[in-house]
Amino acid sequence: MSDSEGSFVITLEQQKDFQFLVKWDNPNVPELLVDEAAPLGEDAGPNPSRILSLAVANCLSASLLFALRKFKNQPEPLKATVTTQMVRNEKNRLRVGKIAVDIQMGAAAADLQHLERVLAQFEDFCVVKESVRSGFAVDVTVRDGSGVIVKQP
């Protein structure tokens, strides 16, 4: 499941109501059930806002770990807590307003080499955070039951 330049495909199959089974492009990764929060869904799995928050926090944690290890540091274990603020936009539509990630390292700062340099640059290597921050195109195509495109970009 490489994210290097190129693309990847993830499939979602509706199970019932707002529950979808996520099938990854890597057969070694377990399927994931996602669902909307109650009262719309049944809270049977994480909803899209939680998955987005998770993606940002995981990417930042992995980027920090990678950057620290480049200098032979052992900051483990890392623990990240992500707090997401939901807001209403001008059309009263619910949106992710802010994501705050708090990462705690297991090692003391004084024991880590080149920490100042790492902290100054690790966020730039987080694909998800930087993509969300700068925004990116999302093309949407909708097909009917026979495969006819009824909406396209």
Per-residue pLDDT 10s for the chain (153 aa) are 456 678 999 999 999 999 999 999 999 999 999 999 999 999 999 999 999 999 999 999 999 999 999 999 999 999 999 999 999 999 999 999 999 999 999 999 999 999 999 999 999 999 999 999 888 777 889 998 999 888 988
Q: Is residue 139 part of a domain?
A: no
| Same domain, yes or no: 58 and 116 | yes
The residues pairing with 92 across neighbouring beta strands, listed in sequence order, are: none
Domain presence at residue 36: yes
For residue 92, give the CATH number of its domain: 3.30.300.20
Could you tell me if residue 143 is inside a domain? no
One-letter identity of residue 124: D
Q: Which pairs count as long-range contacts for 31-40, CB under 8 Å and 24+ apart, including other chains? A: none
The kind and range of the H/E element at 143 are strand 142-143
- Of the candidates 50, 31, 53, the one whose C-alpha atom is nearest the C-alpha of residue 41 is 50
65-91 pLDDT, tens digit per residue, is 999 999 999 999 999 999 999 999 999
What are the tens digits of pLDDT across the range 15-28? Answer: 999 999 999 999 99
Distinct helix (H) and strand (E) counts, the chain: 3, 7
What are the structure tokens assigned to 152, written together? 């396209």
Predicted structure pTM score: 0.88
User: Which residue's entry shows tokens 């490489």?
Assistant: 2
Does 144 map to a domain?
no
Determine, yes or no, domain membership for 118: yes
Burial of 47 (0-12, 13-18, 19+ CB in 10 A): middle
Q: What phi and psi, each to the nearest 5 degrees, are found at residue 90?
A: -65, -20
**28 is in which domain, residue-wise?**
1-46
